[in-house]
Amino acid sequence: MFTLYLCYNIDMTKQHYHHGNLKEEFIRIAFEFIAKEDVEKLTLKILAEATGTSRSAIYKHFKNKDALIETLIERGFDIFDEKVSPYFKTNTLPLIDQFYLTGKLYVEFARKNPNLYRLLFGKKYAYIREEILSIKEEDCSGFGALKKAVERGQKEGILKKEKSYELAIVIWASMHGISSLIIDGFLDVEEIYEEVYETLFETLLVGIVSNKVKIFSALPGLSKRLQPHKTKV
């Protein structure tokens, strides 16, 4: 099982930093804070106290909390992409395996980083996210990589010949849905999330895979589950 920890170890005691590194320290401390606490509790005052600086020093880098949040969202999506998208950048695995493993990484990222995940995909700061990101951009937070993978699957005859944009949204929505259920504690999905993910993925395949193709996987467990069941006569 994949484990995705963003290694945070925040020490809120006052420290002093060279001004050339101060902005990066503010960002680092902010990420460390939201690893443990809801982003709503993060204030510029907390950053000032953690670095032993005044709030006026922070205002030189971030005019307000929204400016800080904007930076965290931009950097957060960089972290998200790095952790979630590697399988879409390799040609050594069958496409179905790439989808399967990427989905697992997506869910694990949300489980291990719930506050950051809510910041990136939640409604609270959507107005900031929408100003700096668009899902229609080719490189938008892994969505572009997913869309390209879908298009490759369609070209190879593996996935259904439907609009790649809508199909990519359906796949993303499935991963987002199970992730949200897990981190929000709904229906105790956390306790059985691995089994739920397996069922979700297999069900998703039924809707996106071409009826004319036999699904191939190099992963022993997945390959076995994808084989058609033999009916006893």
Q: pLDDT digits over 117-140, tens only?
A: 999 999 999 999 988 876 556 555
Residue 142 shares a structural domain with residue 170: yes
Cα angle 193, 197, 200; round to 5? 135
- Domain span at residue 155? 65-226
Identify whether residues 102 and 152 lie together within a single domain: yes
Q: Do 107 and 217 share a structural domain? A: yes
175 and 209, same structural domain?
Answer: yes
- Give residue 223's pLDDT: 80
15: CB partners within 8 A, 6+ apart: 50, 51, 52
Domain co-membership, 119 together with 173? yes
Q: Is the pLDDT of residue 33 over 70?
A: yes
204 domain residue, yes or no: yes
**Number of CB atoms found within 10 A of residue 152's CB:** 16
User: What CATH number has the domain bearing residue 39?
Assistant: 1.10.10
90 DSSP assignment: -
Judge if 114 and 200 occupy the same domain. Answer: yes
The answer, yes or no, to whether residue 2 has pLDDT greater than 70, is no
Q: Is residue 134 in a domain?
A: yes
The contacts found for 225-229 with CB under 8 angstroms, 24 or more apart, are 225/198, 226/96, 226/202
How many domains are contained in the chain? 2
